Amino acid sequence: MNVLNVVPMRSAPPEPPEAPHVPVLRAEVLAALDPAEGKVFVDATLGAGGHSEAILRVSGTKVIGLDRDPSALALASERLERFGARFRAVKAEFGDVASVLGEIGVTGVDGILADVGVSSMQLDQAERGMSFRHDGPLDMRMDPTSGETALELIARLSDDELADVIFKLGEERRSRRIARCIKQAEQANELVTTTDLRRAVIRAVGPARVGGVDPATRTFQALRIAVNGELDQLSALLEAAPRVLNPGGVLAIISFHSLEDRIVKRAFQDRSTWRPLSKKPITATDTELSRNPRSRSAKLRAARVGGGAEEGADE
C-alpha cells in the first residue's frame, strides 16, 4: 500500500524548476510527515536542502537541519535563507539528534526525516573520493575536516579485517581476494586514488559486471560505510527518535542499500514503539524514475511513534 493512501497530504507544492538536486521521493515524504502550520521537523541529513525546502514551503512550519558535511550546510543554508528563523542549520551527525535538540532547547519535534547514505553531490565531487567514476583521493569522509580517510583505514586494517569489512558492509562474497589485492597495492605504494582502488578490485575479480553492477561497487560501498560509521549512526537515530518525537510524531527514513533497509525494517517491527504507515517500503513512481535515475534504489519506510498497528501495516 502506498503511504499516500495512509496519510493525507495537506500540501505538496511543486518543486521549483531551478532547485538543485531534486530530492528523492519528495511527495511521499511530505505525505508521511504531513507538514502543517506550527509543526517542527528535523531533517537529519540536510544535504542540498531539497526535502527541507519542501517542508518549509508549507506555511508556518519549522525545520532543524543536520549535516556533518560543511559544504552541504553552506549550500542548504543559502538555499533556505529566505525562510528566516523558520530554518536552523546545525553541523552534526544524524545519530546525535537527541543531544542536538537538547543543546538548542527543543523538547520535542513532530517529524524526523533521514535520507541515509551518500548524496549525489558528494558522489560528483572527485576530491571527496566517494566514487570510482571520478579519479580522486581515497578519502570518502562525509565530513572532510575530521576522522580517518579510506586510505588510512585500509592501511590500519589487516588483510582479514579488511575482508570482513568488505564482506559485511558491502555484502561482497569475493572479499578475501579483493582485500588481499588491495593490501598488496597499498603496501607497494600503488594505492592513492579511487582509480587505484578500482584497479586493485579488478585485479582480484576481473572486469566483468554482475547484474550490470561494476565489480568495484560493493567494495566502495563497504569502505564508505566503514569510514563514516553509517550503520552505527542509523541505529543511534532509531534508538533516539522515540524520545524526541512528540506523541504521534513520524520518523521517515529513505535508504538505498539492503543493509540500511533491514535495520529500519527490524526497528519498525517493534509494535510497542512504532506504528508503520505502510505495509511495504515506498518506492519511486515511474515518472520519478524517468527524471531521476538515482531514485531507483530508494526505499522509504515511515512509522508513527506509539504502540499498536497502523491500518494497512504488516502484522
Say if CB 266 and CB 303 are below 8 A apart: no
- Among 228, 244, 260, identify where a domain stops: 228
If one compares 97 and 134, the residue with the highest pLDDT of the two is 97
Say if CB 264 and CB 289 are below 8 A apart: no
**Pairing of the two strands 87-91 and 62-67:** parallel
pLDDT at 278 exceeding the cut of 70: yes
Judged by DSSP in three states, 100 sits in: helix
Q: How confident is the model at residue 213 (pLDDT cuts 50, 70, 90)?
A: confident
Shared domain for 205 and 250, answered yes or no, is no
CA 77 to chain centre: 19
Output the pLDDT for position 131: 77
Say if CB 314 and CB 10 are below 8 A apart: no
> For residue 173, is it within any domain?
yes
Average pLDDT over residues 180-205: 96
H-type alpha helices, the chain: 26-33, 50-56, 70-79, 97-103, 120-124, 150-156, 159-170, 175-187, 194-205, 217-228, 230-244, 258-268, 286-291
Shared domain for 12 and 97, answered yes or no, is yes
H/E stretch holding 252: strand 245-255
If one compares 170 and 128, the residue with the highest pLDDT of the two is 170
- Tens of pLDDT, residues 9-46: 333 344 443 445 678 999 999 999 999 999 999 999 99
Domain count, the chain: 2
> For residue 126, is it within any domain?
no
Q: How confident is the model at residue 139 (pLDDT cuts 50, 70, 90)?
A: very high
> For residue 171, is it within any domain?
yes
- Among 194, 228, 262, identify where a domain stops: 228
Q: How far apart are CA 145 and CA 128, in angstroms?
A: 11
> For residue 37, is it within any domain?
yes
Cell of 144: 572532510
Mean pLDDT (the chain) is 88
- Among 186, 208, 228, identify where a domain stops: 228
Shared domain for 238 and 223, answered yes or no, is no
Q: How far apart are CA 177 and CA 215, in angstroms?
A: 13
Say if CB 40 and CB 58 are below 8 A apart: no
> For residue 312, is it within any domain?
no
Shared domain for 110 and 250, answered yes or no, is yes
Q: What is the DSSP string of 135-189?
A: --BS---SSTTSS--HHHHHHHS-HHHHHHHHHHHH--TTHHHHHHHHHHHHHTT
Say if CB 65 and CB 89 are below 8 A apart: yes
Say if CB 177 and CB 205 are below 8 A apart: yes
Sorted by sequence, the CB contacts under 8 Å of residue 235 that are 6+ apart come out as 95, 263
CATH no. for residue 166? Answer: 1.10.150.170
Shared domain for 106 and 240, answered yes or no, is yes
Shared domain for 86 and 151, answered yes or no, is no
> For residue 168, is it within any domain?
yes
pLDDT at 4 exceeding the cut of 50: no
Shared domain for 111 and 195, answered yes or no, is no
Shared domain for 234 and 261, answered yes or no, is yes
Output the pLDDT for position 293: 84
pLDDT at 289 exceeding the cut of 70: yes
> For residue 314, is it within any domain?
no
Output the pLDDT for position 175: 97
- Tens of pLDDT, residues 228-254: 999 999 999 999 999 999 999 999 999
CA 214 to chain centre: 21
Q: How confident is the model at residue 209 (pLDDT cuts 50, 70, 90)?
A: confident
> For residue 236, is it within any domain?
yes
pLDDT at 308 exceeding the cut of 80: no
Cell of 13: 507544492
Shared domain for 57 and 105, answered yes or no, is yes
Output the pLDDT for position 109: 98
Average pLDDT over residues 271-297: 92
pTM for this prediction? 0.87
The domain in which residue 83 lies consists of 3-120+230-305
Q: How far apart are CA 124 and CA 154, in angstroms?
A: 23
Q: How far apart are CA 236 and CA 241, in angstroms?
A: 9
Shared domain for 243 and 197, answered yes or no, is no
Shared domain for 239 and 214, answered yes or no, is no
Shared domain for 224 and 234, answered yes or no, is no
Sign of CA dihedral 177, 153, 45, 194: negative
